[in-house]
Chains A and B, each alone.
Chain A
Protein backbone atom coordinates (compact mmCIF):
# COMPACT_ATOMS: atom_id res chain seq x y z
CA UNK A 1 0.00 0.00 0.00
CA UNK A 2 0.90 3.64 -0.09
CA UNK A 3 3.36 4.84 2.51
CA UNK A 4 4.45 8.29 3.57
CA UNK A 5 7.80 8.85 5.19
CA UNK A 6 7.86 11.98 7.30
CA UNK A 7 11.01 13.48 8.76
CA UNK A 8 12.28 14.42 11.16
CA UNK A 9 10.33 12.48 13.77
CA UNK A 10 10.96 15.17 16.34
CA UNK A 11 12.61 18.55 16.64
CA UNK A 12 13.62 20.59 19.68
CA UNK A 13 14.42 24.15 18.70
CA UNK A 14 14.93 27.59 20.16
CA UNK A 15 12.19 30.18 19.84
CA UNK A 16 12.80 32.32 16.76
CA UNK A 17 14.42 29.58 14.71
CA UNK A 18 13.02 28.39 11.40
CA UNK A 19 11.75 24.84 11.04
CA UNK A 20 11.58 22.54 8.06
CA UNK A 21 9.96 19.13 7.76
CA UNK A 22 9.14 16.97 4.77
CA UNK A 23 7.28 13.97 3.52
CA UNK A 24 8.16 11.59 0.74
CA UNK A 25 6.03 8.95 -0.87
CA UNK A 26 6.61 5.82 -2.87
CA UNK A 27 3.71 6.76 -5.13
CA UNK A 28 2.11 9.83 -6.64
CA UNK A 29 -0.41 11.97 -4.80
CA UNK A 30 -2.74 14.56 -6.32
CA UNK A 31 -3.30 16.41 -3.07
CA UNK A 32 -1.00 17.13 -0.16
CA UNK A 33 -2.29 18.38 3.16
CA UNK A 34 -0.50 19.52 6.29
CA UNK A 35 -2.16 19.25 9.70
CA UNK A 36 -1.20 20.24 13.23
CA UNK A 37 -2.35 18.25 16.23
CA UNK A 38 -2.13 19.42 19.82
CA UNK A 39 -2.40 17.04 22.79
CA UNK A 40 -5.89 15.64 23.24
CA UNK A 41 -7.22 17.35 20.13
CA UNK A 42 -7.99 16.35 16.58
CA UNK A 43 -5.76 17.49 13.70
CA UNK A 44 -6.35 20.98 12.35
CA UNK A 45 -5.78 21.69 8.68
CA UNK A 46 -2.95 24.16 8.05
CA UNK A 47 -2.34 24.13 4.32
CA UNK A 48 -3.78 22.26 1.34
CA UNK A 49 -1.85 21.82 -1.92
CA UNK A 50 -3.46 20.73 -5.19
CA UNK A 51 -0.92 21.28 -7.96
CA UNK A 52 2.59 19.99 -8.52
CA UNK A 53 5.04 22.78 -7.82
CA UNK A 54 2.49 24.79 -5.87
CA UNK A 55 3.89 26.93 -3.08
CA UNK A 56 1.37 28.15 -0.52
CA UNK A 57 1.73 30.25 2.61
CA UNK A 58 -0.41 30.61 5.70
CA UNK A 59 1.12 33.25 7.95
CA UNK A 60 4.53 31.99 9.04
CA UNK A 61 3.89 28.62 7.43
CA UNK A 62 4.90 27.77 3.88
CA UNK A 63 4.34 24.46 2.14
CA UNK A 64 5.21 23.17 -1.29
CA UNK A 65 3.86 20.38 -3.45
CA UNK A 66 6.87 18.63 -4.98
CA UNK A 67 7.20 18.67 -8.74
CA UNK A 68 7.38 14.87 -8.86
CA UNK A 69 4.12 14.64 -6.86
CA UNK A 70 5.89 12.33 -4.46
CA UNK A 71 6.99 14.81 -1.84
CA UNK A 72 6.06 17.92 0.08
CA UNK A 73 7.68 20.13 2.67
CA UNK A 74 6.46 22.48 5.37
CA UNK A 75 8.47 25.39 6.68
CA UNK A 76 7.72 27.41 9.80
CA UNK A 77 9.55 30.70 10.12
CA UNK A 78 10.42 32.47 13.36
CA UNK A 79 8.98 29.76 15.58
CA UNK A 80 7.11 30.66 18.74
CA UNK A 81 6.13 28.52 21.76
CA UNK A 82 2.57 28.03 20.52
CA UNK A 83 3.93 26.23 17.45
CA UNK A 84 4.48 23.22 19.71
CA UNK A 85 2.57 20.18 18.56
CA UNK A 86 2.68 17.29 16.14
CA UNK A 87 2.63 18.10 12.45
CA UNK A 88 1.29 15.53 10.02
CA UNK A 89 1.49 15.44 6.27
CA UNK A 90 -1.25 13.62 4.41
CA UNK A 91 -1.56 12.62 0.80
CA UNK A 92 -4.57 11.80 -1.31
CA UNK A 93 -4.36 10.03 -4.65
CA UNK A 94 -7.80 11.01 -5.99
CA UNK A 95 -10.64 13.19 -4.77
CA UNK A 96 -12.89 11.08 -2.59
CA UNK A 97 -10.19 8.66 -1.55
CA UNK A 98 -9.06 8.48 2.01
CA UNK A 99 -5.91 10.18 3.22
CA UNK A 100 -2.62 8.48 3.86
CA UNK A 101 -0.84 10.05 6.83
CA UNK A 102 2.82 10.47 7.55
CA UNK A 103 4.21 9.41 10.91
CA UNK A 104 4.23 12.96 12.26
CA UNK A 105 6.89 15.43 13.36
CA UNK A 106 6.84 16.37 17.01
CA UNK A 107 7.93 19.99 17.41
CA UNK A 108 9.12 21.40 20.70
CA UNK A 109 10.05 25.07 21.05
CA UNK A 110 12.19 26.36 23.87
CA UNK A 111 11.32 29.93 24.91
Chain B
Protein backbone atom coordinates (compact mmCIF):
# COMPACT_ATOMS: atom_id res chain seq x y z
CA UNK B 1 0.00 0.00 0.00
CA UNK B 2 0.86 3.66 -0.22
CA UNK B 3 3.04 5.14 2.52
CA UNK B 4 2.11 8.12 4.64
CA UNK B 5 4.60 9.46 7.15
CA UNK B 6 4.10 11.81 10.08
CA UNK B 7 6.64 13.84 11.99
CA UNK B 8 7.25 14.12 14.84
CA UNK B 9 5.93 10.84 16.22
CA UNK B 10 5.75 12.38 19.67
CA UNK B 11 6.20 15.83 21.14
CA UNK B 12 6.05 17.36 24.58
CA UNK B 13 5.57 21.09 24.89
CA UNK B 14 4.76 23.75 27.42
CA UNK B 15 1.32 25.27 27.67
CA UNK B 16 0.97 28.30 25.42
CA UNK B 17 3.42 27.19 22.77
CA UNK B 18 2.60 26.12 19.23
CA UNK B 19 3.37 22.75 17.74
CA UNK B 20 3.55 21.80 14.06
CA UNK B 21 2.92 18.26 12.83
CA UNK B 22 3.80 17.24 9.29
CA UNK B 23 2.08 14.64 7.15
CA UNK B 24 3.76 13.45 3.98
CA UNK B 25 2.68 11.05 1.28
CA UNK B 26 5.97 9.38 0.36
CA UNK B 27 5.23 7.52 -2.84
CA UNK B 28 2.09 9.13 -4.22
CA UNK B 29 0.39 12.47 -4.66
CA UNK B 30 -2.52 13.38 -2.45
CA UNK B 31 -4.84 16.22 -3.34
CA UNK B 32 -6.75 15.56 -0.15
CA UNK B 33 -5.50 14.69 3.28
CA UNK B 34 -7.46 14.22 6.47
CA UNK B 35 -6.56 15.02 10.07
CA UNK B 36 -7.94 12.95 12.90
CA UNK B 37 -7.72 13.13 16.65
CA UNK B 38 -7.88 10.09 18.87
CA UNK B 39 -8.29 9.99 22.64
CA UNK B 40 -7.26 6.90 24.62
CA UNK B 41 -9.47 3.89 23.99
CA UNK B 42 -11.63 5.83 21.57
CA UNK B 43 -12.17 5.84 17.85
CA UNK B 44 -10.79 8.35 15.37
CA UNK B 45 -12.55 11.69 15.18
CA UNK B 46 -12.22 13.66 11.96
CA UNK B 47 -11.00 17.18 12.61
CA UNK B 48 -10.59 18.59 9.14
CA UNK B 49 -10.10 17.86 5.47
CA UNK B 50 -6.98 19.37 3.97
CA UNK B 51 -7.14 20.37 0.32
CA UNK B 52 -4.04 21.16 -1.68
CA UNK B 53 -3.98 24.80 -2.71
CA UNK B 54 -7.13 25.80 -0.88
CA UNK B 55 -8.52 26.28 2.60
CA UNK B 56 -9.12 23.32 4.82
CA UNK B 57 -12.63 22.23 5.69
CA UNK B 58 -13.17 21.88 9.42
CA UNK B 59 -15.64 19.63 11.18
CA UNK B 60 -18.19 21.13 13.49
CA UNK B 61 -16.72 22.06 16.84
CA UNK B 62 -13.11 22.22 15.64
CA UNK B 63 -11.59 25.69 15.98
CA UNK B 64 -9.88 26.61 12.72
CA UNK B 65 -7.83 29.35 14.39
CA UNK B 66 -6.48 26.89 16.91
CA UNK B 67 -5.75 24.04 14.54
CA UNK B 68 -4.12 25.63 11.52
CA UNK B 69 -3.86 23.43 8.46
CA UNK B 70 -1.71 24.09 5.44
CA UNK B 71 -1.58 21.87 2.37
CA UNK B 72 1.00 23.61 0.23
CA UNK B 73 1.98 20.71 -2.01
CA UNK B 74 0.60 17.42 -3.27
CA UNK B 75 2.71 15.50 -0.79
CA UNK B 76 2.66 17.61 2.37
CA UNK B 77 0.03 18.82 4.81
CA UNK B 78 0.80 20.40 8.16
CA UNK B 79 -1.28 20.78 11.31
CA UNK B 80 -0.26 23.49 13.75
CA UNK B 81 -1.75 23.44 17.21
CA UNK B 82 -1.54 27.06 18.32
CA UNK B 83 -1.29 28.15 21.95
CA UNK B 84 -1.51 24.56 23.07
CA UNK B 85 -3.11 23.68 26.40
CA UNK B 86 -3.19 20.41 28.34
CA UNK B 87 -6.63 19.55 26.95
CA UNK B 88 -5.06 19.52 23.48
CA UNK B 89 -2.96 16.54 24.49
CA UNK B 90 -3.97 13.71 22.19
CA UNK B 91 -2.93 11.38 19.39
CA UNK B 92 -3.16 13.15 16.05
CA UNK B 93 -3.29 11.04 12.90
CA UNK B 94 -3.30 12.09 9.28
CA UNK B 95 -4.44 10.12 6.27
CA UNK B 96 -4.25 10.58 2.54
CA UNK B 97 -6.01 9.38 -0.56
CA UNK B 98 -4.06 8.84 -3.74
CA UNK B 99 -4.96 11.42 -6.39
CA UNK B 100 -6.46 10.10 -9.60
CA UNK B 101 -7.07 6.63 -8.26
CA UNK B 102 -10.67 5.55 -7.99
CA UNK B 103 -10.56 4.01 -4.61
CA UNK B 104 -12.00 4.74 -1.23
CA UNK B 105 -8.89 3.53 0.53
CA UNK B 106 -7.25 5.91 2.94
CA UNK B 107 -3.70 5.34 4.10
CA UNK B 108 -2.77 6.56 7.55
CA UNK B 109 0.37 7.99 9.02
CA UNK B 110 1.96 6.58 12.14
CA UNK B 111 0.37 9.22 14.33
CA UNK B 112 1.83 11.99 16.47
CA UNK B 113 1.35 11.98 20.21
CA UNK B 114 1.15 15.47 21.66
CA UNK B 115 1.56 16.05 25.37
CA UNK B 116 1.07 19.57 26.64
CA UNK B 117 2.41 20.26 30.11
Contact = CB atoms under 8 A, between A and B. Distances in A.
Interface of A: 30-31, 33, 35, 40-45, 48, 50, 88, 90, 92, 95-96, 98-99, 101-104, 106
5 contacts: A33-B104, A45-B105, A45-B107, A88-B44, A103-B43
Interface stretch (B13-21, B65-73, B76-84, B108-116): B108-116
Contacts of B104: 30-31, 33, 48, 50, 92, 95, 99
Contact of B44 (A43, A92, A96): A43
A101 B111 contact: no
A28 B13 CA distance: 42
Interface residues of B, number: 26
Given A88-B43, A88-B44, A92-B104, A43 B93 contact: yes
Given A88-B43, A96-B32, A41 B106 contact: no
A103 B4 CA distance: 23
Contacts of B110: 41-42
B46 interface: yes
B105 A102 contact: no
A65 to B, nearest CB: 12
A42 B113 contact: no
A68 to B, nearest CB: 18
Interface string B33-44: 010000001111
Given A42-B111, A43-B93, A104 B43 contact: yes
Contacts of A104: 42-43
A42 B108 contact: yes
A56 to B, nearest CB: 13
B61 interface: no
Contacts of A88: 43-44
B107 A41 contact: no
Contacts of A50: 104
A82 B1 CA distance: 20
Which 4 residue pairs are nearest across A and B when measured between Cβ atoms?
A: A31-B104, A42-B108, A92-B104, A42-B111
Contacts of A30: 104
